[in-house]
Amino acid sequence: MNRSVVLWCLAAVAGVALVAGVTYAASGLSTQSIGLSSEPLEAGDDLSPAATPTPRPSATPDRAAARRRAAARRRRAAAERRRRARARATATAAPQPTAVPTAAPTIDDDNSGSDDDSSGKGRGRGRGGDDSGDDD
């Protein structure tokens, strides 16, 4: 074998080893536990307030509370009926706008400054020649 072939093979093997080492180091960095994910789920239990028993509602609510709830339901239903009536009134009372046709303005785009120049040789028209080949 030639000496240059051996050197190229050794360089290739060294390159593969270098890439493998960098890949292993990068995977080691990405698998480290960082931040809150490394804490156990019970870590914040000391920070939360102590649990207190909630009072259970009585099985037989008093009559005044029942009357207040019924009155509130009636007020909500009446407000909903008024809202629907207003919506129907505005939907039928508002006339639909009709489209008025307008004439399209005529635009003189040759920028020549002359109103009756029909030669087509104004500014912005190319090199000034016409399609027929003869001069005016």
Mean pLDDT of 97-114: 67
State yes or no: pLDDT of 35 exceeds 70: no
Q: Can you tell me the distance from the alpha carbon of 49 to that of 42, in angstroms, rounded to the nearest whole number?
A: 14
- Whether 83 maps to a domain, the answer reads yes
Two structure tokens written together for 52: 């207190």
- Kindly report, residue by residue over 48-58, the tens digit of the pLDDT: 777 787 776 66
Could you give the number of structural domains in the chain?
A: 1
Question: Does residue 77 lie within any of the structural domains?
Answer: yes
Residues 112 and 122 sit within 8 Å (Cβ to Cβ): yes
Backbone Cα Rg of the chain: 44
pLDDT of amino acid 8: 94
Is a pLDDT exceeding 70 seen at residue 7?
A: yes
Residue-number span of the structural domain to which 68 is assigned = 62-93
**What token pair was written down for 13?**
């093997």
50 belongs to a structural domain: no
What is the rounded distance in angstroms from the CA atom of residue 126 to the CA atom of residue 119?
Answer: 13
73's enclosing H/E stretch is: helix 63-93
Where b means 16+ CB within 10 Å and e means fewer, 90-118 reads eeeeeeeeeeeeeeeeeeeebeeeeeeee
| Domain-embedded: residue 46 | no
Q: Tokens 């046709």, residue?
A: 101
Q: What is the pTM of this model?
A: 0.26
Query: What was the pLDDT predicted at 12?
Result: 96
Q: What is the pLDDT of residues 40-94, one digit of tens each?
A: 667 667 777 777 877 766 656 688 888 899 999 999 999 999 999 888 887 776 5
Percent of the residues in the chain that have a pLDDT greater than 90, as a whole number: 26
The answer to whether residue 76 sits within a structural domain is yes
